[in-house]
Amino acid sequence: MRPAAAPRPGLRDTRREDHENNKLSKRLHRLAGQAIADFDMIGEGDRVMVCLSGGKDSFGMLDILLGLQKRAPVRFSIVAVNLDQRQPGFPADVLPTYLQKLGVEYHIETEDTYSTVQRVIPDGKTKCSLCSRLRRGILYRVADELGATRIALGHHRDDILATFFLNIFYGGQLKTMPPKLVSDDGRHVVIRPLAYVEEKDLIRWAEVQQYPIIPCNLCGSQPNLKRAETREMLKLWEKRFPGRLETIFSSLGRVRPSHLMDRTLYDFNTLRSGDDAED
C-alpha cells in the first residue's frame, strides 16, 4: 500500500492559518463572555446598544456580541448605533452597507458636532475631550429613544491600563475605565465587554475579518500625546518584562483599602491594636 501523499506546502499553511484563526476566535469570545459574566453586564431581556465608530475595536465588539448572543444562557437583543458627526470626508455609506449585509438592526444618528468642536476649540489644540462629551450626551439620548437598557463601548484591556496610569500620572487618582458603570444621571448602564481582551488580538481579528475600517483622524485633531506616551511606556514594559501588564491588570481586581491611604474607603481613625488584621 502506498503511503498517503504529504499535504502540499500551501495547503499546510492554509490549515495552520485556519487553526490559529479558530483559536483566536475562541479566545475573544471566551474572554468577552467571562467579562460579561463576572460583572453581570447583560441580563435576560436586555437591549444592548452597541456603539459602532467604524474602528477595529467596535467592529470586533459587535462581531463577538453577535456570536455570544447565539449561545448565551439569557436572551438579549442588539442594535448597532453609529454617530455621524459630519466630519469632512466621512464615508457615510460604509457602515449602513456593512450592517445591512450583516443583517443586524442598526441606527445612524446624524448630528453636526464637528462644526461645534471646530468653532469652540482653537486649531492645534486637542479636541477629543469636548468631542467625547458631546458624543456621550447624544448617545445617551439615542439609547433612551431606542429603548436600550445597556450601552456597550469597545474599550479593551490596553485602554483600561493606559487610563489607569494616566489618572495616576496626571490626575493624582487611582481609577480607570470600569467594566460596568452607571451614568452620572443614573439613567444608563454602560458596559465594556472587551475589558479582558488585548488590543493585539483585536488587531489580528480585524485583519482576519477584513472589517471596512474608517480612519479615526478625519477631524484633524492633534493626537492625545499623554495617552500615546503612556501606551508606549506600557509596550516597552511588556517587551522588557513579559507578563507585567497582566499582573498589573489583575491587581485592579484585588484592591486592599486598608493598605492604601484613602480615608473615605477605610476607617483608619478607629483602628486600634487588637483589631483583626487584614491581609
Mapped onto helix, strand or coil, the DSSP state of residue 270 is coil
C-alpha distances in angstroms, 127 versus 175, 218, 231? 23, 12, 19
CA distance 161 to 175: 10
51 is in an annotated binding site: no
Q: Which three three-digit cell numbers place residue 42?
A: 447583560
131 is in an annotated binding site: yes
128 is in an annotated binding site: yes
CA distance 209 to 192: 21
End-to-end CA distance of the chain: 68
Binding residues: 128, 131, 219
Binding residues for [4Fe-4S] cluster: 128, 131, 219
